[in-house]
Amino acid sequence: MATNGKQGDTIVSNAVTPIESGAPSASASGTTRRKFLKASTAVAGTVMLGGISRSYAAKGPIHVASMFDVTGGLSIYGLPEMNVSRMAIQHINKSGGVLGRQVKLHEYDTQSKIELYSRYAQEISVNDDISIVVGCITGASREAARPILTKNNKLLFFPSVDEGGECDKYTFMQGSDILQMETPLIDWAVKNAGNKFYVVAADYIYGHVATAWTKTLVAQAGGTIEGVEFIPLDVSDFGSTIRKIQSAKPTVIMSNLVGGNHMAFYRQFAAAGLNRNIAIVSPSFGLANEQLVLAPEETNGIVVAYSYFETLPYPQNKAFVSAYRRQYPDAGPLMDLPAQVWNGWHQWKDAVEAAGTTEINQVVAAMESGIPFNGPSGRILMDATSHRNIQDINLAQVNDKREYQILDTQRQVQPATTVPGSESCDLVGKDKNSHRMIMPNI
Amino acid sequence: MDEIIVIALSALTSIAILMLTSLGLAVIFGLMRIVNMAHGEFLMIGAFTTTVAVRAAGFPIWLAILCAPLVCALVGVFVELAFIRPLYRRRLIDTLLVTSGLSLILYQIAINVFGTSPPGIGTPGGFVEIGSYTVSHYSLFLPAVTVLITVLLYALFKSTRYGLLARAASDNPDMASVLGVEVRRVNLSTFVLGCALAGLGGGLISPMVAVSPGVGQSYVGQAFMTVVTGGPAFLLGTLSASTLLGGIANIVSQLFTTLWGLTALLVTAIVLVRLLPGGLSANWSRQL
């Protein structure tokens, strides 16, 4: 995805760049104070007429924040996420804001540096205006920011797919978890490609927990694990891994690989001719648009599972994709992460409007009450126990034109509430005051 | 038996990749003593040149790979004239700071130009069957081309006038200057040669890895380790170090796990530098 001028402007030196969030017409014709006042009075008036009369309209905008890696190594994920975050807030503002107030987004570029997550989380924490963050990309960055944010009564919505285990009253997990994604993948593999699995996984917490799930789920599906290999994130020479796979003779590879270096695996796998008779399924392939970076003959046939694909037929998705293309014509295709950013802002908006306030405990209660939202990925609903979305999971296969073809849609899949071999989380029961992460037992 | 052959071939490929990604640094850091932190970005520029030449200009892959050193050489000319030239007589740390900054700038330019997930090219050629195993042609081609490049470089530095002057200008610039060597021009050529070699390395690995703006960064650490372990004979020392480190890393990966392979590479480098602080070639008579 290429940056364009608009993004460039917001990246420069200082990371904090509040977006103009004036009246709908403001951006086109230049904001004037009078126009803004007119528009906000009109909005305020509508709110009063609607019978939900509150004094908020007079108090100026609601301040919110996003922290994403717009520059540096993780910009592959962070750029589209920040794009969508900006677009979601503009969309919310155009349709009247939240509780009749405009929303002002503070953008923090964390530059792919964990220490900036802690620093900006501190900054947000001492800012009394900001009440919520939709942000963070990796589990490590989330764990740098989350304890600081939630200790200071700030909400965190996390849009990445993840390994599970988060158990924090003030944190909501938008992305699908390993249980939601790998169950359909393994079922598909056992039916279509055989039941002998070989697992290659990134050598950090995500890969290890994902592999623990893979082992559990493969055993349930009646398959066997022929081998497991963990690959450090900076390795891109897979010669020894490919030799080991050939020795183990599996029928399916479960790839829990992550990041740019690991893309080389699919290339070297195909170059050695292994893609002729070994299938690949993966809960992480495609998040960084691997299907674009690699050649079609290398990715043809790989099966993935996500709640969001650009090709989903819902009208909300068509509108979402065309708005994104209009605003960011040079940015690449949309994947699960940015779509979850959109979902996050809208779920937050619905919860704040149901609660009638941005006060954190009331917003959390409204989130937990389960307000369904129909977004680009279809219907989603927050599960109160796990603070994770109940959502559709689509099984899709990469075709020879670098596109995803949807094979199957599983409706309203429940998220996991446990970590394999470790504890469970119940945020409306025993963990209702928890701000922790359940560590896996590996 | 076929398993042993496959392991040996895989080790050769690892050695070749390490050598190819270290050669440019061997000239710029090993010979010229410029700490080039932007080495990874030169690899990246070479890799992008190759993918763009194939995808946008429709060049055959071999020609596209040969474009990589040319483009990197041009960038190298600019970098030398603008940033490196004033630093030859300064401390190492100055070159480190300048090239670190250059690395960040080149990286961000690549993101702005190519985006974060640019389309790449597949591995050319097919694969050979060895018993029940298959090995890609390209992974066999890399060791062969590495040997060829090393031989050509050896000949260049050993038997040409430029090679002699380049070594003289790096060894003792004052004396060389007094003897009439135009040190500035020789240094420019050598720096550009190093950049071109990095570009060639990037071009050669581009069909095996996923080319993105960050593609070179994972090689920089290992390249420095290889050149430092290699010692003063910047060419043959680097070759020995590549063989030792790459071979050990690959074979340990084969026997245990990839993590242990990487660990073995680091441990070997640390132990070697502890026992032979001057590097593998510290006591060799030939300084090439």
Residue that finishes a domain, picked among A306, A341, A364 = A306
What pLDDT score does A287 carry? 85
Compute the distance between CA of residue A269 and CA of residue A244 in angstroms, rounded to an integer. 12
Question: Which has more pLDDT, A27 or A351?
Answer: A351
Q: Based on the domain organization, do A376 and A424 belong to the same domain?
A: yes
**CB proximity B108 to A under 8 Å:** yes
Asked whether the predicted pLDDT for residue A442 surpasses 80, the reply is no
What pLDDT score does A41 carry? 54
Q: Based on the domain organization, do A141 and A231 belong to the same domain?
A: no
Structure tokens at B124: 């050319």
Residue A105, number of CB atoms within 10 A of its CB: 26
Residues of B in contact with A289 (CB under 8 A): 117
Interface of B with A in 195-234 (CB under 8 A): 207-212, 214-215, 217-218
User: How far apart are the CA of B259 and the nearest CA of chain A, in angstroms?
Assistant: 6
Compute the distance between CA of residue B277 and CA of residue B288 in angstroms, rounded to an integer. 18
Q: Which of A3, A71, A237 to mutate to test the interface with B (most CBs of B within 10 A)?
A: A237
User: How far apart are the CA of B126 and the nearest CA of chain A, in angstroms?
Assistant: 7
Give the closest residue to A199 by CA, choosing from A176, A226, A220. A226
Q: Which amino acid is at B215?
A: V
User: How far apart are the CA of B189 and the nearest CA of chain A, in angstroms?
Assistant: 32
User: How far apart are the CA of A241 and the nearest CA of chain B, in angstroms?
Assistant: 7
Strand partners, A34: none
Q: What is the mean pLDDT of residues A243-248?
A: 95
Token pair 């392991």 in the structure block, residue: B7
Compute the distance between CA of residue B129 and CA of residue B173 in angstroms, rounded to an integer. 53
Residue that finishes a domain, picked among A306, A338, A367 = A306
Compute the distance between CA of residue A271 and CA of residue B206 in angstroms, rounded to an integer. 13
Residues of B in contact with A402 (CB under 8 A): 119
Helix axis angle, A315-327 to A336-355, nearest 10°:
110
Asked whether the predicted pLDDT for residue A414 surpasses 60, the reply is yes
User: How far apart are the CA of B171 and the nearest CA of chain A, in angstroms?
Assistant: 35
Q: Based on the domain organization, do A285 and A263 belong to the same domain?
A: yes
Residues 6+ apart with CB under 8 A from B39: B24, B25, B28, B29, B99, B198, B216, B219, B220, B223, B224
Give the closest residue to A234 by CA, choosing from B272, B147, B261. B261
Q: Do B3 and A236 touch (CB under 8 A)?
A: no
Q: Based on the domain organization, do A240 and A377 belong to the same domain?
A: no
Q: Is residue A39 part of a domain?
A: no
**Closest chain B residue to A272 measured between Cα atoms?**
B136
**CB proximity B258 to A under 8 Å:** yes
Instruction: Give pLDDT < 50 ranges for chain B.
Output: none
Compute the distance between CA of residue A371 and CA of residue A312 in angstroms, rounded to an integer. 22
Q: What is the mean pLDDT of residues A207-213?
A: 91
What is the SS3 assignment for chain A? CCCCHHHHHHHCCCCCCCCCCCCCCHHHHCCCHHHHHHHHHHHHHHHHHCCCCCCHHHHCCEEEEEEECCCCCCHHHHHHHHHHHHHHHHHHHHCCCECCECEEEEEEECCCCHHHHHHHHHHHHCCCCEEEEECCCCHHHHHHHHHHHHHCCCEEEECCCECCCEEECCEEECCCEHHHHHHHHHHHHHHHCCCEEEEEEECCHHHHHHHHHHHHHHHHCCCEEEEEEEECCCCCCCHHHHHHHHHHCCCEEEEECCCCCCHHHHHHHHHCCHHHCCEEEECCCCCCCHHHHCCHHHHCCCEEEECCCCCCCCHHHHHHHHHHHHHCCCCCCCCHHHHHHHHHHHHHHHHHHHHCCCCHHHHHHHHHCCCCEEECCEEEEEECCCCEEEEEEEEEEECCCCCEEEEEEEEEECCCCECCCCCECCCCCCCCCCEEECCCCC
Q: Do B13 and A239 touch (CB under 8 A)?
A: yes
| Residue A340 pLDDT class (50, 70, 90 cuts) | very high
Beta strands A196-202 and A224-231 are parallel
Q: Is residue A35 part of a domain?
A: no
Q: Is residue A31 part of a domain?
A: no
Q: Do A8 and B120 touch (CB under 8 A)?
A: no
Residues of A in contact with B207 (CB under 8 A): 267
Q: Based on the domain organization, do A188 and A279 belong to the same domain?
A: yes
Q: What long-range pairs does A81-84 form, CB within 8 A, spacing at least 24?
A: A81/A135, A81/A137, A81/A159, A81/A337, A81/A338, A81/A341, A82/A7, A82/A10, A82/A107, A82/A109, A83/A7, A83/A324, A83/A327, A83/A328, A83/A331, A83/A338, A84/A324, A84/A334, A84/A338, A84/A339, A84/A341, A84/A342
Nearest to B117 among A76, A230, A273 (CB): A76
Residue that finishes a domain, picked among A306, A326, A346 = A306
Q: Do A241 and B258 touch (CB under 8 A)?
A: yes
Q: Is residue A34 part of a domain?
A: no
What pLDDT score does A34 carry? 57
Compute the distance between CA of residue A244 and CA of residue B259 in angstroms, rounded to an integer. 14
Q: Do A273 and B127 touch (CB under 8 A)?
A: yes
Question: Which has more pLDDT, A33 or B220?
Answer: B220
User: How far apart are the CA of B235 and the nearest CA of chain A, in angstroms?
Assistant: 23
| Residue A36 pLDDT class (50, 70, 90 cuts) | low
Q: Is residue A204 part of a domain?
A: yes
Q: Based on the domain organization, do A198 and A233 belong to the same domain?
A: yes
**CB proximity B48 to A under 8 Å:** no
Nearest to B122 among A234, A295, A330 (CB): A295
List, for residues A229-239, the tens digit of each pLDDT value: 999 988 899 99
Residues A407, A81, A334: CA angle, nearest 5 degrees: 30
What pLDDT score does A141 carry? 93
Residues of A in contact with B206 (CB under 8 A): none
Q: Based on the domain organization, do A134 and A11 belong to the same domain?
A: yes
Structure tokens at A162: 């993840």
How high is the mean pLDDT of chain A? Answer: 87
Compute the distance between CA of residue A15 and CA of residue A198 in angstroms, rounded to an integer. 43
User: How far apart are the CA of A292 and the nearest CA of chain B, in angstroms?
Assistant: 5
Q: What is the mean pLDDT of residues A355-381?
A: 96
Give the closest residue to B61 by CA, choosing from B45, B44, B47. B47
What pLDDT score does A180 carry? 93
| Residue B127, SS3 per DSSP | strand
Q: Do B258 and A240 touch (CB under 8 A)?
A: yes
What pLDDT score does B170 carry? 85
**Closest chain B residue to A331 measured between Cα atoms?**
B115
Q: Which of B104, B141, B209 to mutate to test the interface with A (most CBs of A within 10 A)?
A: B209
User: How far apart are the CA of A199 and the nearest CA of chain B, in angstroms?
Assistant: 13
Q: Is residue A48 part of a domain?
A: no
Asked whether the predicted pLDDT for residue A44 surpasses 80, the reply is no
Compute the distance between CA of residue A22 and CA of residue A417 in angstroms, rounded to an integer. 41
**Closest chain A residue to B123 measured between Cα atoms?**
A271
Domain that holds residue A224: 178-306
What pLDDT score does A38 carry? 57
Residues of A in contact with B254 (CB under 8 A): 240, 243-244
What pLDDT score does A8 carry? 35
Asked whether the predicted pLDDT for residue A15 surpasses 50, the reply is no
How high is the mean pLDDT of chain B? Answer: 93
Compute the distance between CA of residue A36 and CA of residue B182 in angstroms, rounded to an integer. 68
Give the closest residue to A182 by CA, choosing from A279, A300, A281, A308. A281
Compute the distance between CA of residue A257 and CA of residue A270 in angstroms, rounded to an integer. 16
Q: Do A263 and B209 touch (CB under 8 A)?
A: yes
Direct distance between the N- and C-terminal alpha carbons of chain A, in angstroms, rounded to an integer: 37
Q: Do B114 and A2 touch (CB under 8 A)?
A: yes
Domain count, chain A: 2
Q: Any idea which of A262-271, A300-309, A327-336 has the lowest mean pLDDT?
A: A327-336
User: Any idea what DSSP says for residue B181?
Assistant: -
Q: Based on the domain organization, do A212 and A170 belong to the same domain?
A: no
**CB proximity B263 to A under 8 Å:** no
Q: Based on the domain organization, do A171 and A140 belong to the same domain?
A: yes
- Return the CATH number at A251: 3.40.50.2300
Q: Is residue A113 part of a domain?
A: yes
Compute the distance between CA of residue A303 and CA of residue A260 in angstroms, rounded to an integer. 19
Asked whether the predicted pLDDT for residue A13 surpasses 80, the reply is no
What pLDDT score does B89 carry? 77
What pLDDT score does A30 carry? 47
Give the closest residue to B127 by CA, choosing from A397, A228, A243, A401. A243
CA A340 to chain centre: 5
User: How far apart are the CA of A264 and the nearest CA of chain B, in angstroms?
Assistant: 4
Helix (H) or strand (E) holding B134: strand B133-136
Residues of B in contact with A73 (CB under 8 A): 214, 217
Q: Is residue A408 part of a domain?
A: no
Residues 6+ apart with CB under 8 A from B282: B231, B232, B276
Given a contact cutoff of 8 angstroms between Cβ atoms, the answer to whether A151 and A367 are in contact is: no
Residues of B in contact with A261 (CB under 8 A): 209-210, 218
Asked whether the predicted pLDDT for residue A21 surpasses 70, the reply is no
List, for residues A137-192, the tens digit of each pLDDT value: 988 899 999 999 999 999 999 999 988 889 999 999 999 999 999 999 999 999 99
Beta strands A388-398 and A404-413 are antiparallel
Residues of B in contact with A242 (CB under 8 A): 10
Residues of A in contact with B253 (CB under 8 A): 239-241
Interface of B with A in 123-152 (CB under 8 A): 123, 125-127, 132-136, 138-139
Asked whether the predicted pLDDT for residue A369 surpasses 60, the reply is yes
Q: Based on the domain organization, do A321 and A422 belong to the same domain?
A: yes
Nearest to B112 among A3, A289, A331 (CB): A3
List, for residues B191-247, the tens digit of each pLDDT value: 999 999 999 999 999 999 989 888 999 899 999 999 999 998 999 999 999 999 999
Give the closest residue to B15 by CA, choosing from B243, B286, B280. B243
Q: Which of A137, A208, A240, A337 to mutate to test the interface with B (most CBs of B within 10 A)?
A: A240
